[in-house]
Amino acid sequence: MPFGFINAPATFQAFIDKVLGKFLDITCVVYLDDILIFSKDKLDHEEHIRQVLAALQHYDLHFKISEQELLAIVEVVHHWQHYCQGARHPIIILTDHANLVWFMTTSNLTRRQLKWVKKLAEYDFNVTYREGKTNPADGLLRRPDYKLLKVSTTSTAAETVQ
């Protein structure tokens, strides 16, 4: 973990404890980004899920996958802003998420997306869709020698003792 992020897990845990504080050890247990919701019956469970999701949504912690992809672009551009601001050529952002191409041209944006548009407005960039199979970054994932080995977890007690 880079030195700048040494306290990130503890900070995130403290934040999540604050967000879900009134539910902790009553209807849920939390460890970093894992939330276990427990209930006596199905009806209670559905209500507990609604309450936890509402608490997360109150703090803007509920993102659709397209928003997660977009937030990644916002964060990366912000992180590398010293290279991105004033660049001679437009920054080309390659994505395998086709919905991101329309983001800068659509007028139907949520309040959160509008906030991100403002952040990105000061940069000259183009979002280009590239199918996952043609994206070189995905190449390593497609190598046959990098595929996970199949492991059998069945054994008898006698085999385990030996």
What pLDDT, in 10s, does the model give residues 72-88? 888 888 888 888 888 88
CA 148-150-154 angle, 5° bins: 145
> By the 8 A CB rule, do 80 and 107 touch?
no
Give the H or E element holding residue 161. Answer: helix 157-161
- pTM, 2 dp: 0.49
pLDDT tens digit sequence for 17-52: 999 999 999 999 998 878 999 999 999 999 999 999
For residue 15, pLDDT beyond 70: yes
Confidence at 160, pLDDT banded by 50, 70, 90: very low
Euclidean distance between CA atoms 8 and 14, whole angstroms: 10
User: What's the pLDDT score for residue 136?
Assistant: 62
Average pLDDT of 92-118? Answer: 82
Euclidean distance between CA atoms 34 and 87, whole angstroms: 40
User: What's the pLDDT score for residue 49?
Assistant: 92
User: What's the pLDDT score for residue 154?
Assistant: 53
Beta bridge partners of 95: 129
Domain ranges of the chain: 3-58, 65-144
For residue 147, pLDDT beyond 80: no
Average pLDDT, the chain: 79
Quote the tokens at residue 15.
């934040």
Most confident range, picked from 6-10, 46-50, 75-79, 157-161: 46-50
> By the 8 A CB rule, do 39 and 71 touch?
no
Q: What is the DSSP letter of 145?
A: G
Average pLDDT of 95-112? Answer: 80
Average pLDDT of 93-121? Answer: 82
Q: What is the largest CA-CA distance in the chain?
A: 69
SS3 string, 4-21, reads HHCCHHHHHHHHHHHHCC
